Amino acid sequence: MRILVVEDEPKMRGLLRRALTEEGYAVDTADDGPRALALTDIAAYDAVVLDVMLPGLDGFEVCAALRRRAVWLPVLMLTARDAVADRVRGLDGGADDYLTKPFSLDELMARLRALIRRGPVERPAVLTAGDLSLDPSTRTVRRGDEEICLTGKEYALLEALLHRPGTVWTRAMLVEHCWDLGAGPGSNVVDAHIKALRDKIDRPYGIRAVETVRGTGYRIRRDGGRTATGTP
């Protein structure tokens, strides 16, 4: 297993490298954000231990840049900051876990092992299909630069579809993901909410992003839609 440690403080960087090496990991190090990104371009890592306070680019920016490049290796962020807002920013920016300094090396190792077991699973911070985007951290939906206001259920349906563009969701699957057990609706209710969703994200733009798969359910096109030639 190969780990990248990104830490600008030499003593902490050396400590982490020694501890990880003793655990049997191959370890590379970087002391600033640009160097970290450069290393991820030329080497394959199983995880990154990423400090927040870095010169050049801070840890938040490095993590966001990795996700924009579709680099999905697990990221464990380290910081002296313990404010909730900072933890939220890191996790919403694509980090997988967060440790506040000072921390136990045993805990760091355990968290790192858990992340490595999970592996490089695709988990974009912003869900997209073509020019259609959904940001879960702000609950914002956009078609291009234009923000679209959705109801809670419309948002939930779109978020489910965007998690797996191109994949067909049956009505039962959408009910399971978007309604609680005590309020599961019939398929006609799902159809009505899908129609309302289309009326906001598709029809005003001459686009057909949400497609009906007859006899099965719905899917969202990977390219975000095409010019509509008829009623979806």
* pLDDT per position as a tens digit, 18-71: 999 998 898 999 999 999 999 999 988 989 999 999 999 999 999 999 988 888
* pLDDT computed for residue 149 by the predictor: 95
pLDDT: which is higher, 14 or 69: 14
**How far apart are alpha carbons 28 and 45 in whole angstroms?**
9
Strands 169-170 and 217-220: antiparallel
CATH 3.60.20.10 describes domain 127-220? no
* pLDDT computed for residue 94 by the predictor: 85
pLDDT: which is higher, 160 or 1: 160
Cα–Cα distances in angstroms (integers) from residue 145 to residues 101, 197, 206, 227, in the given order: 39, 18, 16, 18
Q: Which CATH architecture describes the domain 2-118?
A: 3-Layer(aba) Sandwich (3.40)
Contact, 162 vs 220, CB < 8 A? yes
Q: Where are the domains of the chain?
A: 2-118, 127-220
**Of 122, 213, 199, residue with least CA distance to 166:** 213
CA dihedral 199, 202, 206, 212 (to 10 degrees): -100
Per-residue pLDDT of 136-192, as tens digits, reads 878 899 999 999 999 988 998 998 899 888 999 998 888 888 876 655 566 688 899
Mean pLDDT of 109-117: 91
- The answer to pTM > 0.85 is no
